Structure 1
Amino acid sequence: MAGSIQKIGKKFRVTKELGKSQSGKRLREYVYAATEAEAKKLLAEFEYNQQRNTLVESSNITVSEFFDHWMENYVKYNCEETTAYGYRNILYKHVEPYLGRIKLQKLQPTHIQQYYKYLMDEKGLSPNTVRKHHANIRKALDYGLKQQFVYRNVADAVSLPRLNKFEGRAYTKDQLNTLLELVKDTKLELPVYLSAYLGLRRSEITGLTWKEGVDMQNRILHIEKVRTSAGKAVVIKKPKTDKSQRTLFIVDVIYELLRKTQVNQAEYKKILGKDYNDSGYVFTREDGTPYRVNTVTEQFSDFLKKHKLPKIRLHDLRHTFASILHSEGVDLKSISEALGHSDIGTTNKIYTHIFDKTHKDTLSTMSKALRKNKEKRSSNV
């Protein structure tokens, strides 16, 4: 028999028969379950894997050593640097100090459950951040399952904290016009206008180049590269999805702003000479050096505070872009394509909270229809 179940106190012990050692000693492994149903499930999984010859042999590898193996043999070759940086940040700064010394095959759902409790109660992390940790751990253990380091993914049995839904804010037309007036002829004019008028992301603005991204003759912007960061390293890559790679018409106000930017850069290049860094980027410092990716976000926050404007993120100008277009009757599909979303469902999910929650236009249509019908009936009498 592959194993057995025995009730001990209030828990159920599952005994896994692993065979015999070279000396003839029986090898066993014990795990505990809170309920008999869970114990039966554990035993059934063990027997299934044993029958399929996929049972993992006992190993001394720790959780920490396994994560190192996963990073070196999977993440290194299959993930972008920004993704790999996120994994390293979570695993090495948070997960390993708490779970790293546990033997991988001894890792249980309760270990992970207590880790999530620790993150919220001791570290003060949000449920959303805890879910990111969970996604990371679960993905790594899925790899371990496929490579037969473990015979089940224990992260699947963990209960997650309720997700706190984040809702971005949007400026009204009046608030946006005020911002656009105040930001003129400042360092923030270009990124704010590109975000407000075209719905560009921060990474798209900082990654925009004159040669590949701007076609002044045909008045087209090509969004084909983004510039982001992974820790202190700057990463230049393609946008996350194919739909994010898009072409956008350069409206008059943006055309004039780009022309002004070209003139300014030419003047600085003439003044600084060899000290000018001709980086080719559209959004740069006076010496031509592209801004640090996070700088524009920090400057935007300081600007709003200085001018006592309602606090929003730079990214919320995309929300404003979507909200105003929707209020002007632009259909959701067109808004989605302009924003570079993968599908219309993404747009609806992200921005539904800033659209008209009272359904004024929809419900008013019903009233108008009945009123017209009533007037028509009256005229026929």
Structure 2
Amino acid sequence: MNRPHIYRGQKVPGVFQRCKKTCPALRCDVHTWSYHVVLPAGPDGRRPQLTKAGFGTGREAMKAREEAATAGRNGKTSSKPKLTFADWADRWLAGKVERGELRPSSHTAHRNALAHLKRYLGTKKLKSLTSHELTETYAAIIRDRRAEIEAARATGGKASRPISAASITRIHTVANGCLRDAADAKFIDHNPAATAKKPKYQGSKVKPWTPAQARQFLEFLTSTGDRLVPLIHLAIHTGLRRGELLGLGWADVDLDAGTARVWRQRVTVAGVVSVVDQTKTEAGDRLVPLFPGTVAVLRQWRAQQNRERLAWGPAWNDGGWVFTREDGQPLYPDTVGRAFRKRTEQAKLPRLRFHDLRHTFASIALNADVSMPILSKVMGHTNPAFTSKRYAHLSPEKHSEVMRAVGEELGSATG
């Protein structure tokens, strides 16, 4: 039976002592006191209930109940006190996928990041997770991976790749989003990731080719009759991402108007190539103007592709893609990346990733006095501030002009 707590001659709702029928009718000194409270409605419209036992007196239980009710009204009480980090992480990721908030590659990255975190924090109660525990987890991920690599080398086994500070930064970003949403949903009263410490990470500086090196590479490819010429030409002259280039269809290209519509990507996720009907960001869906020389290159390429279509006959794969193999099959992202590295070595140029052609485009544009906001739109960045932060150091020639101009002014003033 439940014995109610009497305070000033009145029964206190939600405060009781769980007793047996054999317990004294007026007072029991054996069993502890409990409280039950119905919290305000959550985001789903339901009113969660919270029950807690183990109090020595009815007054202690009554006071705790009042505190829980006040915290609930202020949005500071977890309506899921037994919810673990792993439970919430799985639920959070599934919700983002269901709402279409993650591209396939982002989904894989989020899942991998959460797998690292769940290995150490999976059974931890969500409401009791602290920023210090997250900080220690980041260090443990690096330390334990290093130990695994050393053990594999000692036994001659296959060693995993090290976990870098950059990887921990990405894991922290996922943790921050996950726990921020948990706080917004009132499952926890604050986001512990907001104050967690992660290893110091210094992003690598972009080192693009100069215009002369870019021209040298295109001339080298042209001299060898390489079928990657139009792809590389478009990459250098537009700054499109590799996935955006490989996701282009001829229906997206208007050679008469000199434009290309960018709205999808061809990406590799967990070894599987797929076409995603969305760009990396919302701003990535854009109409890109084409330089007349680029239009000419694409016209020549389409003529070559038509000749290959006739040569292959019914065996031609008519997918409508701009960049293909001889049989019409679309080019795969990883294959393009490997081919680019090989040709870079053959041309005896500084080694670059394919993505660095995008940085080369940005560098050339900045040195040609293209404004940062315009460059940001052309490149499909959501925020011009990101473009500025990423590429502000890529115009040493312009920096020299500033110094020369200032020097001349000072020289004339002191002359």
Change (3 A) 1:207 1:104: same
Aligned to 2:366: 326
* Residue of structure 2 in register with 1:144 after alignment: 182
Equivalenced residue count is: 341
* Equivalent residue, structure 2, for 1:250: 290
Is residue 19–residue 28 contact of structure 1 (8 Å, CA) maintained in 2? no
The equivalent of 1:216 in structure 2 is 255
Counterpart of 1:9 in structure 2 is none
Segment of structure 1 superposing worse, 358-367 or 253-262: 358-367
The equivalent of 1:154 in structure 2 is 192
Partner of 1:182: 220
Match of 2:314 in 1: 274
Quick one: which of 302, 308, 324 aligns to 2:348? 308
Aligned partner letter, 1:224: W
Quick check: which has more Rg, 1 or 2? 2
Structure 1 residues 1-381: aligned runs within 5 Å? 22=18, 24-25=32-33, 27=52, 49-50=71-72, 52=74, 54-56=76-78, 59-82=81-104, 83-92=106-115, 94-123=116-145, 124-184=162-222, 185-211=225-251, 213-231=252-270, 232-356=272-396, 359-369=399-409
Letter in 2 for 1:335: L
TM-aligned CA deviation for residue 222 of structure 1: 2.1
Q: Residues 72 and 220 (structure 1 numbering): CA distance in 2 closer, same or farther, change over 3 Å?
A: closer
Partners of 1:130 and 1:47 lie apart in 2 by 38
How far residue 291 of structure 1 moved from its aligned partner, in angstroms, is: 1.5
CA separation of 1:126 and 1:358: change in aligned 2, threshold 3 A: farther
Separation in 1, partners of 2:69, 2:194 = 19
Unmatched segments (≥5 aa) in structure 2: 1-13, 20-31, 35-51, 55-66, 146-161
Give the distance between the partners of 1:91 and 1:263, measured in 2 at CA: 48
**Superposition deviation, residue 129 in structure 1:** 1.5
CA contact (8 A) 1:265 1:286 kept: yes
8 Å Cα contact 1:81-1:235 kept in structure 2? no
Q: Helix, strand or coil: the match of 1:131?
A: helix
Q: In 2, are the aligned partners of 1:107 and 1:154 still within 8 Å (CA)?
A: yes
Q: Is contact 1:75–1:84 with CA below 8 Å preserved after alignment?
A: yes
Identity %: 25
What do the CA deviations read for 1:257-279 (whole angstroms, capped 9, x no partner)? 21222122212221222221111
* Secondary structure at 1:294 match in 2: helix
User: Contact (CA 8 Å) 2:80, 2:187: kept in 1 or not?
Assistant: no
Change (3 A) 1:307 1:53: closer
SS at 2:266's partner residue? strand
Does the 8 A contact of 1:325 with 1:335 survive in 2?
A: yes
Q: 1:242 to 1:66 in 2, by over 3 A?
A: closer
State the Cα distance separating 1:77 from its structure 2 match.
Answer: 1.6
Question: What is the TM-score of this pair, normalised by structure 2?
Answer: 0.73
CA distance in 2, matches of 1:20, 1:261: 82
**CA deviation profile, 1:235-288 (whole Å, cap 9, x unmatched):** 422334454333333323322221222122212221222221111110111111
Alpha-carbon distance, 1:309 to partner: 1.9
TM-score, with structure 1 as normaliser: 0.79
**How far, CA to CA, are the matches of 2:273 and 2:15 in structure 1?**
51
User: Is the contact between residue 194 and residue 200 of structure 1 (CA under 8 Å) also seen in structure 2?
Assistant: yes
Name the CA shift for 1:74/1:240 in 2 (closer, same or farther; >3 Å). closer
Offset from partner CA, 1:25-62 (integer Å, 9 cap, x none): 35579xxxxxxxxxxxxxxx989625637522564433
**Structure 2: how far apart are the matches of 1:237 and 1:322?**
25
* Runs (5+) with no aligned partner, structure 1: 1-17, 30-44, 376-381
**Which AA in structure 1 matches 2:305?**
Q
> Which residue identity does 2:391 align to in structure 1?
Y
In the alignment, the residues of structure 2 paired with residue 191 and residue 318 of structure 1 have an alpha-carbon distance, to the nearest angstrom, of: 12
Q: Distance in 2 between matches of 1:89 and 1:365?
A: 51
